[in-house]
A and B are shown apart, each in its own frame.
Chain A
């Protein structure tokens, strides 16, 4: 967040700025409700235990690349000395987030309440993404049947 003064005089009614500011804040809030933390949660759960550390390494590395690409490009897009798109940058992100939505829809399965072993099985069976929610753990499988010795409270 660079607080640079613009080098040429520009007058925009304050209300328009406020709307932009508020919109950004609302996006931040909604994203914080599910999308943002979700990306970390899913990232941690999806890989097999064996590859957990390496997957995290790769994940953060790629995240770093993404960060790098976006950080470098965005100043040039909306900056005074380059693209000067300003609020129209919303369209750019509309496109990007639209594509992201599609990717999310097709890629990310439901891992809620699943043990690592179940996840292993589901992936091994090459279950389609949307089926993850409905997959019933095979209760006759010995692996799921061992009694859990609960603690005495």
Chain B
């Protein structure tokens, strides 16, 4: 389907999407019913969202690793002699002595926090290319391998006496690349394979697992706090391995996305994979035909089959891409970074470390519950409506918090 075919041929296409995707209102059936109609797809995709666990775990881990006492000590005396406390110490291993307190400097914290997103950026761009070239499954596999690499680098960073911060940063970036590739692939796969009725609820699992991952990360660091010696942070680093292993396993087990296969012209295989996704008595042939028809339509509409990055900004797709980009930054915009830094915040305000972690856990559990509830909400209420009606209260709450902050300096009991 190369360029040159400029006429649109309308009517010989079939309805584009697999059987359950007609204009039937998904709310007619309710979440459970919908899931039961598509058990295999749901199961595969549910497993896939666990990849997000890795992401959450990594996020929770870095932030909390810095709070470990043991992470701070080692060899501070030796370094103290070298006036470059700044580059060489660790909040114990990575921190710096300032006014009798061990802290990790802003710039390294900033750098480490930035390392992950940078990695995610690189990873997702790479992932976009890999997915289209070699398939969604291989993309997932590659992502998992980089994860193993990343954890290994972070592990080695504790031995790199001259440049611990730097190597740690490298490891973080590598982890970020993994997350970029894996999560991007997971979302593509799920959005292609899932019928709309259950697509939203399952994709809504993304934040769920992110939170669960963070909780597990927080939980492990919390308990590692009591362990003396270097083992405390070592355990945390090693514990990332199981989370990396999971995507590797998945990349082997899940069926390849039929939409990808059809686009590559491998219709036979598409048929087989689609069969793996459907229940036994569904007409797979019809589905494949519909996919073919839809892809044909899109190719004709765009006058080419090329899907390079630059094509995302041409014509009709430009608007769509902008919306996608906006929704990607949306979590950042409503304050997710602040929520994550909550405990730190509270500690600055004077709360004890233990208490602030409790707030973190409570907040994560709350978010978790909310996301689970949202799964059902998405089946009934539209996206736009739901998002707008949740954003409005959030805006008000931020106002409330800002106002509360104005009373901060007064010593007034509330």
Contact = CB atoms under 8 A, between A and B. Distances in A.
Interface of A: 1-8, 10-21, 23-72, 74-76, 78-82, 85-94, 96-101, 103-105, 107-118, 120, 123-124, 126, 132-133, 137, 142-146, 148-152
Interface stretch (B126-134, B162-170, B268-276): B126-134
B325 interface: yes
Contacts, number: 557
A10 to B, nearest CB: 6
B384 A36 contact: no
Contact of B302 (A6, A14, A50, A151): A50
Given A32-B367, A35-B334, A151-B282, A19 B323 contact: no
Contacts of B382: 110-113, 133
Interface string B1-43: 0000000001101111101011111100000000000000000
Given A1-B63, A53-B307, A72-B114, A78 B345 contact: yes
A150 B387 CA distance: 33
A17 B346 contact: yes
Given A61-B180, A112-B383, A2 B322 contact: no
Contact of A68 (B64, B121, B323): B121
A2 B109 contact: yes
A44 to B, nearest CB: 4
Chain B: number of interface residues, binned into ranges: 35 or more
A150 B286 CA distance: 11
B238 interface: no
B397 A3 contact: no
Contacts of B324: 42-43, 46-47, 55-56, 58-59
Interface in B365-414: 366-371, 373-375, 377-378, 381-395, 397-408, 411-414
B117 A64 contact: yes
Interface stretch (B75-83, B243-251, B310-318): B310-318
Contact of A27 (B25, B191, B394): B394
A15 B320 contact: no
B188 A65 contact: no
A15 B386 contact: no
B23 A32 contact: no
B183 interface: yes
B283 A151 contact: yes
B365 to A, nearest CB: 9
Point out which of A34, A45, A113, A116 has the most chain B C-beta atoms below 10 A from its C-beta: A34
Nearest to B375: A37
B207 interface: yes
B204 interface: yes
Contacts of A94: 395, 398-399, 402
A109 to B, nearest CB: 7
Interface string B204-236: 111110000000001000000000000000000
Nearest to A68: B117
Nearest to A67: B117
A32 B349 contact: no
23 contacts: A3-B356, A14-B350, A19-B414, A21-B359, A26-B366, A28-B366, A31-B335, A35-B386, A46-B323, A54-B132, A55-B321, A56-B124, A58-B321, A63-B329, A67-B120, A71-B113, A71-B337, A86-B348, A109-B384, A116-B294, A143-B11, A143-B13, A149-B286
Contacts of A97: 333-335, 391, 394-395, 398
A11 B386 contact: no
Contacts of A103: 326
A52 B34 CA distance: 24
A16 B349 contact: yes
Nearest to A7: B99
B384 A108 contact: yes
A39 B329 CA distance: 8
Contacts of B353: 3
